[in-house]
């Protein structure tokens, strides 16, 4: 009986984690479909699971090499490419907004809920235009 409960618990834990990544991919896809930059949006991320989710849907282009991408999605600073070459960066941890000056926005989890923040001055710096749907997430500065 204990083995059955343990197996059920592990299965539910795994399902919950996969659900979180699917939700994260859906939110990011919605964000990137509602922004415009001067070039075609091609995504690279240090989170390979996230890239696979984008590839499954086929709505956004992805790249295996960050040099081919126009937009970088970064989860950890240590995985950030050494030369960003004026590329826009979207981070998956709010604290990275302070650490990476090239970052223009963040999607992060707080109290089990997804949060989105876009920094107005950095959007202008990267010449990123957003739709009205994203206006509510724009902030003047990092808190």
Sign of the Cα torsion 120, 107, 126, 60 reads: negative
Task: Give the residues across from 62 on adjacent strands.
Answer: 43
pLDDT at position 31: 94
pLDDT of 9 above 90: no
φ and ψ of 38, to 5 deg: -65, -20
Instruction: Label the pairing between strands 88-91 and 103-110.
Output: parallel
At residue 112, the 3 state secondary structure works out as coil
Overall residue count recorded for the chain in this entry: 143
The CATH code belonging to domain 2-139 is: 3.40.50
Structure tokens that stand for 70 in this block: 């126009």
Cα separation of 112 and 125, whole Å? 31
Structure tokens that stand for 74 in this block: 């970064």
Q: Report CA dihedral (63, 37, 127, 118) to the nearest 10 degrees.
A: -70
pLDDT in tens, 97-134: 999 988 999 999 998 889 999 999 999 999 999 999 99
The ranges assigned to domains in the chain are 2-139
Q: What's the pTM value of the predicted model, to 2 decimals? A: 0.83
CA angle 140, 129, 41 (to 5 degrees): 120
pLDDT at position 95: 93
């Amino acid at each position: 009986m204990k083995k059955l409960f343990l197996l059920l618990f592990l299965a539910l834990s795994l399902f919950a984690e996969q659900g979180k990544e699917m939700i994260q991919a859906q939110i990011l896809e919605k964000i990137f479909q509602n922004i415009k930059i001067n070039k075609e949006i091609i995504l690279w991320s240090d989170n390979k699971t996230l890239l696979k989710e984008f590839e499954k849907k086929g709505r956004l282009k992805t790249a295996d090499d960050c040099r081919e991408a126009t937009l970088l999605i970064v989860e950890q600073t240590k995985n950030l490419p050494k030369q960003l070459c004026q590329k826009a960066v979207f981070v998956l941890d709010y604290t990275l907004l302070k650490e990476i000056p090239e970052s223009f926005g963040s999607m992060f989890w707080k109290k089990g809920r997804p949060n989105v923040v876009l920094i107005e001055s950095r959007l202008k710096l990267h010449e990123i235009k957003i739709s009205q749907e994203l206006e509510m997430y724009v902030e003047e500065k990092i808190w």
